[in-house]
Amino acid sequence: MRATRLFSNKFLLLFSILSIAASSITAQTLTKKQLDSAYLLNPGQERLRKIKKSLAKKFVNFVGNDVSLFGALALSKQNINDNGVTAPINYLYNTVNSNTFNSGYSGGFRIDGIYKEKHRYALSFAVNRIAAGNNYKNKYSLSPFIDDFTHFKADNNFTTLSIAAHYKKLLPVNAMNKYKFYAVFGPSFDYKISRISNEQLINGAGNRAIINGDLGAEFDNKGYYVLYAHYKLGVNMTSSSVPVQLNRFEIGMSIKAKDLF
Amino acid sequence: MKKLYILILAATTLTMVACNKETPTTQTNVMNSMLTNKNWYLDYSITGTSTKSYVGQSTYFVTYLKDGTTKDSDGLTGTYSVEVLGNQSQIHVQLKTSNGNPLEVIYNIISVGDTKLVLSKVVTTGTPTQLYFTNK
Q: What is the pLDDT of residues A189-231, one digit of tens each?
A: 999 999 999 999 888 888 899 999 999 999 999 889 999 999 9
Query: From CA A247, how far away is CA A76, in angstroms rounded?
Result: 6
Question: Hey, is the C-beta of A194 within 8 angstroms of any chain B C-beta?
Answer: no
Separation in Å, CA of A22 to nearest CA in chain B: 13
DSSP structural state of residue A182: E
Under the banding of pLDDT at 50, 70 and 90, the label for residue B13 is low
Q: What average pLDDT does range B87-102 have in this prediction?
A: 87
Domain B25-134: top CATH class:
mainly beta
Inter-chain residue contact B113 with A90, CB threshold 8 Å? yes
For residue range A39-98, list pLDDT tens digits in order.
666 777 778 788 878 877 888 888 878 899 999 999 999 999 998 888 899 999 999 999
Inter-chain Cβ pairs, chain A and chain B, closer than 8 A: 97
> Which residue in B109, B116, B130, B132 has the most chain A C-beta atoms within 10 A of its own C-beta, making it the best mutation to test that interface?
B116
Please report residues of A whose CB lies closer than 8 A to that of B131: none
CA–CA distances in Å: residue A223 to residues A169, A183, A251, A259, B113:
16, 16, 18, 10, 55
Q: Domain segments of chain A: what residues?
A: 1-60, 62-260
State yes or no: pLDDT of A3 exceeds 80. Answer: no
- Beta bridge partner(s), residue B25: none
Partner residue opposite B22 with nearest CB, options A17, A146, A204:
A204
Residue spans per domain, chain B: 25-134
Using CA coordinates, name the residue in chain B closest to A140.
B111
Q: What is the DSSP string of A29-48?
A: S--HHHHHHHTS--HHHHHH
* Topology at the third CATH level for domain A62-260: Porin (2.40.160)
Min CA distance, B96 vs chain A (Å)?
28
Q: Which residue in the set B26, B109, B113 is minimally distant from A198, CB to CB?
A: B26
Model pLDDT, residue B20: 58
Looking at chain B, which residue has its C-alpha nearest residue A198?
B26
Mind telling me how many Å the CA of B38 is from chain A's nearest CA? 16
Q: Residue A23 pLDDT more than 90?
A: no
At residue A27, the pLDDT reads 47
Average pLDDT, chain B: 85
* Residues comprising chain B, all counted: 136
Choose among A149, A191, A202: nearest Cβ to B26.
A202
Distance CA A63, CA A117 (A): 7
Q: Does A96 touch chain B (CB under 8 A)?
A: no
Report pLDDT for B124. Answer: 86
| Predicted ipTM > 0.85 | no
Q: A245: which strand partners? A: A79, A235
Q: Which amino acid is at B11?
A: A
